[in-house]
Structures are given as C-alpha cells and as structure tokens.
Amino acid sequence: MGEWGTNSFENDDAADWLAELSQAEDTTVLREAFSAVTERDDYLELPESSVAVAAAEVVAALRGRPVPGLPDAVQEFVAHIAAPPSSALVSAALRALERVETKSELQELWDETDSRTEWHKVLADLRSRLN
C-alpha cells in the first residue's frame, strides 16, 4: 500500500517527484509540473495532479511561506535557488491548483472520502501562502 494523506507530500507520486527535484538546478522542474496540468484539457490523472500540488508547495516555500514539516529535498532546493519565485511561476502554481482542485482524478478521489474537507482546506492554505 502506498502513502496516502491529505498533506501535499503524503502520496507516492509527490514522494517520487522529490527525487527529480533534488537533481534540479533551477525552477524548470516546477514549470514543467504546472504545464503538465494547465496545458491540457483532457482528464487529469492522479500522478500529474499530485506532482503539481507538491510543486506549488515548493513555490510557496520559495516565497518564504513553507508548510510545516517541509521535506528535506524541498528545503535543499529552496536553499540552492535562494531567490523568490517570479510572478509568472506563482501564477502558474495558482492556475495548476485551480485545475487540480476542480477537475482532476485527485479531486475526485478526495471528494469520495470522509477527508475531502480536510484536503480542500490543505489546498486553501497553500493558495493563501502563494498569494
């Protein structure tokens, strides 16, 4: 059984993506995660959705507004980048969150559980840290 929790990094796809983040030299990895979600109109699968939410957490951390318990890989990436994100990157993160929360497999799965309210609160908190 994989990892599954309401927090942004509590799923296997986000955990796997952290390995990619740890190898990244710049924010291209974040832009790619958002593009995989925002540049398509078809059904948004679970892996892309989970990675986009995790990438949005990284942008919030770059803004100096990290979630408590930030994974080491994210802390190291933020220290390596050592600069606030561009407004375009923040906008991309917000667009990706909107897409994930309103029309994705991840949203459908959470909306079928007793934890749906908690998951939506996690995304609302993330959105507030991005704004």
- Where in the chain are the domains? 12-130
Instruction: Give the length of the chain.
Output: 131
User: Residue 107 in contact with residue 100, Cβ under 8 Å?
Assistant: yes
Q: Is the pLDDT of residue 111 over 90?
A: yes
Cβ–Cβ contacts within 10 Å for residue 90, how many? Answer: 18
Residues 21-60 pLDDT 10s: 999 999 999 999 999 999 988 899 999 999 999 999 999 9
C-alpha–C-alpha distance, residues 116 and 119, integer Å:
5
User: Residue 34 in contact with residue 96, Cβ under 8 Å?
Assistant: yes
Q: Is the pLDDT of residue 8 over 80?
A: yes
Residue 40's pLDDT is what?
87
C-alpha–C-alpha distance, residues 75 and 86, integer Å:
18
Residue 5's pLDDT is what?
87
Residues 62-89 pLDDT 10s: 999 999 999 999 999 999 999 999 999 9
Q: What DSSP character marks residue 25?
A: S
Within 8 A by CB and 6+ apart from 124, the residues are none
